[in-house]
Amino acid sequence: MPELQRLRPEHAPALLAFEQENRAFFAASVPDRGDDYFTHFADRLAERLAEQATGACHFHLLVTEDGGEILGRFNVVDVADGAAELGFRLAEKATGRGLATTTIRELFTLCTTAYGLTTLRAGATLTNTASRSVLTRTGFVPTGEELLLGGKRGVGYVRELRAGPSEHA
């Protein structure tokens, strides 16, 4: 079973490979990161690690059992007043196996016990039916808020968190 790991500097080569290999797949449903992201990847990673060190963000990777490959990214960002924004990406070859759903449920425990969060927000483009399904399966509810995500229409979601075993219901 893949393991959820907190982002570390040594993840850099595998993370860059993950982003490059899945770029076209991601761009079909979420805004593309652009060429600049890849050109300045090392700088971007250093910025994310610095943000994580402050507690303002928590970046996680879903890594294969042997630790050699990244299957997904699960980011908890803009932490403030017990709330944060969840974003996630799963490699094309890892979709359809329930990994996003399982990993997000695992994140709920981290969010309540390690990060002190009580609320998660998320957004997904209207065309990203897979992410919208995962959000619904994991207890997120649409807020009715219409979003613009990289120029694409989307919808906002919210999930109240409770510590304890009922979190995985």
Task: Give me the amino acid identity at 15.
Answer: L
Our CA angle for 68, 21, 58, nearest 5°, is 65
Task: Write down the pLDDT at residue 67.
Answer: 76
> Could you give the domains of the chain?
3-168 (3.40.630.30)
**Cβ-Cβ contacts under 8 Å for 154 (sequence gap 6 or more):** 123, 124, 125, 126, 128, 146, 147, 148
Task: Note down pLDDT in tens along the chain; length 169 residues.
Answer: 899 999 999 999 999 999 999 999 998 887 788 899 999 999 999 999 999 999 999 999 999 988 789 999 999 999 999 999 999 999 999 999 999 999 999 999 999 999 999 999 999 999 899 999 999 999 999 999 889 887 888 999 999 998 655 444 4
pTM (predicted TM-score): 0.91
**Measured on CA atoms in the order 133, 138, 144, 145, is the torsion positive or negative?**
negative
Task: Write down the pLDDT at residue 163.
Answer: 64
